[in-house]
Copies of this chain bind each other. A is one copy, B any other.
Amino acid sequence: MIVVMRLGATAKEVGQVIKTIEEMGFKPHLSKGEERTVIGVIGNERKFDPGRLEVLPGVEKVIPILRPFKLASREFHPDDTIVNVCGVQIGGREAVVMAGPCAVEDREQLFEAAEAVKRHGARLLRGGAFKPRTSPYAFQGLGRKGLELLREARERTGLPVVTECLAVQDLPAIVEFADVIQIGARNMQNFNLLEEVGRVQKPVLLKRGMMSTLEELLMSAEYILSKGNMNVILCERGIRTFEKYTRNTLDVSAVPVLKRLSHLPVVVDPSHAAGEKYLVGTLARAGIAAGADGIIVEVHPHPEHALCDGAQALLPSDFQKMMEELRLIARAIGREVAPSPDAAAPAAPATATSSPHDLRAEG
């Protein structure tokens, strides 16, 4: 932490800053510039509220130096974390595709979607039982009934299930029925929910708030990690910008930035960023090319009857095409996307696996 004094700050004002730093158990370090005096604070600044210094007379501003997250930080945990979801490794060489409908609507819809995504190579099934909606008048999900259908779909297909938890009181049911607990963008700073999710031992898919910085995302991960749950998967899903032709703006740089700052796996949600079907496959390709550890995408067998977000849902045939493209992109950067389980023996991919470039290392 660096305290910058105002131009013309008096010796007495500087003295009071130094005294306060010492009283709080830290070590001050004085440096006089041509125009201003700055005072370094030596110690673990994460436990030091900068407001204590900002209020002192003669202080212009206080600049933090350390990153505020520690458990989530690659500096303190250099190796990649790999989250194991019922045998599927997230954060390893394979880029994992999670797919399914926005909301669980009924048994037929869910099973049709689940079987389609499995057939084309998805490794996890997504589907919402509790839906956060801006309007109190909109469809809010099937609730516990939706969770039961997700469990049936999982038994049928063998795909582990990821579903969103909106409220602490729903957490026990979600822990019972699902394999990955999703924390949605609107709850990224619902600290109470983060703490409770940190106390269970299920993998968590933590979505970036649509107007949050990456540092805020990592601080929310820190909440979960600090309570003992180390299985956190970060998810970039688009941020709010002034652009109107997309629902949100996919921040593809989030992938390499997060991989550099943190050891946690990072997946990309192209559906919510796009808002329209025609963009989803393109954004998924960009995400994989940028080094994402996976993609979470919405697929609906009959989008024209979807109860929410039909406009961004892929048809099973769109999903198949996207998966073929993602396999080519993944190979080009030395990674892979799972083949369709029906595929014949996967012909030895020619060039890319032998690529000498470990592109992930760059991020």
Residue from B186, B210, B333 in contact with A190 in the complex, judged by beta carbons closer than 8 Å: B186
Instruction: Contact check, A325 vs B66: say whether CB atoms are below 8 A apart.
Output: no
Q: Which residues on the B side are within 8 Å of A169 (C-beta)?
A: 168-169, 192
Stretch of A112-120, A150-158, A234-242 contacting B (4+ beta carbons < 8 Å): A234-242
Residue from B132, B250, B348 in contact with A253 in the complex, judged by beta carbons closer than 8 Å: B250
In the complex this chain forms, how many copies of it are found?
Answer: 4
Complex Cα–Cα for A195 and B135 (A)? 12
Q: Mark A43-65, 1 if CB is under 8 A from B, else 0.
A: 11011011110111000000101
- List which A140-184 residues lie within 8 A (CB) of chain B: 166-169
A13 in contact (CB, < 8 A): no
5 A-B residue pairs with Cβ-Cβ distance under 8 Å, sorted by A, are A31-B42, A38-B65, A212-B242, A285-B289, A325-B357
Interface size, chain A (Cβ < 8 Å): 133
Complex Cα–Cα for A93 and B188 (A)? 39
- List which A306-325 residues lie within 8 A (CB) of chain B: 306-311, 313, 321, 324-325
Instruction: Contact check, B222 vs A243: say whether CB atoms are below 8 A apart.
Output: no
Instruction: Contact check, B222 vs A136: say whether CB atoms are below 8 A apart.
Output: yes
Instruction: Contact check, A310 vs B52: say whether CB atoms are below 8 A apart.
Output: yes
Closest chain-B Cβ to A215's Cβ sits at a distance in Å of 7
- List which A276-294 residues lie within 8 A (CB) of chain B: 276-279, 281-283, 285-291
Complex Cα–Cα for A305 and B53 (A)? 10
Residue from B136, B191, B252, B321 in contact with A133 in the complex, judged by beta carbons closer than 8 Å: B191
Q: Which residues on the B side are within 8 Å of A240 (C-beta)?
A: 211, 242
Q: Which residues on the B side are within 8 Å of A255 (C-beta)?
A: 282, 363
Residue from B8, B226, B310, B358 in contact with A51 in the complex, judged by beta carbons closer than 8 Å: B310
Known contacts A259-B363, A332-B355; 7 additional CB pairs below 8 A are A2-B65, A51-B310, A52-B305, A239-B242, A250-B253, A253-B283, A334-B360
Residue from B20, B132, B289, B348 in contact with A289 in the complex, judged by beta carbons closer than 8 Å: B289
Contacts A245-B261, A252-B250; A331 near B360 (Cβ below 8 A): no
Q: Mark A91-109, 1 if CB is under 8 A from B, else 0.
A: 0000000000000000000
A197 in contact (CB, < 8 A): no
Instruction: Contact check, B286 vs A252: say whether CB atoms are below 8 A apart.
Output: yes
Instruction: Contact check, A363 vs B282: say whether CB atoms are below 8 A apart.
Output: yes
Q: Which residues on the B side are within 8 Å of A86 (C-beta)?
A: none
Instruction: Contact check, A167 vs B168: say whether CB atoms are below 8 A apart.
Output: yes
